[in-house]
Amino acid sequence: MRRDGRVANSLLALLSRDWTGVPVALVTAGVGGCLVALGTTWAVALGAVAVAVGAALLVGAVRHLVLVARETGARPAPGSLVDVGGHRMHVLGEGERAGGPTVVWMPGGHVPGEEFGELHTMLAARTRSVLVDRFGTGWSDTGPFPRTTAVEAEELLTALEAAGERPPFVFVGHSFGGLLVANAARRRPDLTAGLVLLDPTPLEVIAFAPSNGLVAGMRRRLLLAAVRHLFGAHRGRGGRTGQDCAAASIFSELSPSGLAGVGWETVVYDGDLADLPLVLVIPRDLNGGEAVLAGARDAVEAERISRFYLRSRVRYLAASSASRLVYTPEGTGHDFPHEVPEFVVGVVGDLVRELRVTSS
């Protein structure tokens, strides 16, 4: 890893600790006090400002710690906290397998497993269903940096074993979570009964799509959110800085240069999944995806961009010789797991029933 990468990850690791705001505030105030002690007019004025800023930062940092502690006490982990590489990862498993595979959900972005809580609850009435909080999300520890898809795939498999969840697994992943579970399945096909990929992220769109700044903008917003949380400059419940930093870290892969460094470990290529049952679930059009067309110079380029994204959506079909395509209901977009949860649970339940029949 290049030196600048090591420095960036060290800074992210520091920023991700909820207590970091306190020493930063104290150092700021201390520098101000030293300036005041110099006695010159400019030093006293500048020092007074630094002391005031340090005091304000300290109040905010303490407020953040109080909010985090309050939320932690009010919302104890509903599942098990298992050891993964010396850090605790949260795994919640519910429902009975009834002779079938265990379903493992992975939402998109870099968010807690409970983002799919509704889907999990609906399916747990039929079979064993599992939610996992990646490091830096939910009730899991922040974990080590850098965060990468390859590392998180290994961590997911380790967490399931540590929690006592029995294979085979049907991995269900949405968007960036789809890329993650496809990586887990590629690494351990012996533990995998099947995959349901819900409009998964195709890395071609990162490497070859026209630049739109969406991911870079997301990283900037995440880092700003981490700073705001660190110094209590937010409303409502206490947000963990670890989640913001973990997401910012893993999203560094989502650029042409970032992908070039991790492609071999992260991309799931044609045939990588052999004959593993794979269900690809995607919308028919770019409904809700107008942002990717916003930078088009004219109608011809807009058509080309649309075609590129629609064709890229089906690339995962080539990863397995036993893949099939399912379209989402008309009018739904990329966020269809939240728009039509019953439909998603139905698709997953159908695959589980098929696998029960073939294994009996």
Q: Are residues 11 and 68 in the same domain?
A: yes
Eight-state DSSP code of residue 308? H
Residue 118 lies in a domain: yes
Q: Which domain holds residue 32?
A: 3-76+214-245
Round to whole Å and give the CA distance between 85 and 206: 30
Residue 258 lies in a domain: no
Q: Are residues 22 and 168 in the same domain?
A: no
Q: Which residue reads 């919640």 in tokens?
A: 92
Residue 260 lies in a domain: no
Residue 130 lies in a domain: yes
Q: Which two tokens stand for residue 87?
A: 């850090």
- Read off the pLDDT of residues 296-319 as tens digits, 9 standing for 90 and up: 788 888 888 888 888 999 999 999
Percent of the chain with pLDDT over 90: 69
Q: Are residues 40 and 92 in the same domain?
A: no
How would residue 2 be classed by pLDDT, with cut points 50, 70 and 90? low
- Read off the pLDDT of residues 132-176 as tens digits, 9 standing for 90 and up: 999 999 999 999 999 999 999 999 999 999 999 999 999 999 999
How would residue 288 be classed by pLDDT, with cut points 50, 70 and 90? confident
Query: Is there a contact between 343 and 297 (Cβ–Cβ < 8 Å)?
Result: no
Residue 342 pLDDT exceeds 90:
yes
Residue 298 lies in a domain: yes
Percent of the chain with pLDDT over 70: 95
Q: Are residues 43 and 163 in the same domain?
A: no
Q: Report the SS3 class of residue 317.
A: helix
How would residue 251 be classed by pLDDT, with cut points 50, 70 and 90? confident
Query: Is there a contact between 136 and 89 (Cβ–Cβ < 8 Å)?
Result: no
- Read off the pLDDT of residues 172-215 as tens digits, 9 standing for 90 and up: 999 999 999 999 999 999 999 999 999 999 988 888 877 766 77
Beta bridge partners of 192: 169
What is the rounded average pLDDT for all residues in the chain? 91
Q: Are residues 164 and 226 in the same domain?
A: no
Distance from the first to the final alpha carbon of the chain: 48
Q: What are phi and psi of 158, to 5 degrees?
A: -65, -40
Round to whole Å and give the CA distance between 116 and 121: 9
What CATH number is attached to the domain comprising 321? Answer: 3.40.50.1820
Element (H or E) spanning 54, and its range? Answer: helix 41-74
Whether pTM exceeds 0.95: no
Residue 238 pLDDT exceeds 80:
no
Beta bridge partners of 82: 89
Lowest mean pLDDT across 55-64, 119-128, 160-169, 303-312: 303-312
Q: Are residues 181 and 95 in the same domain?
A: yes
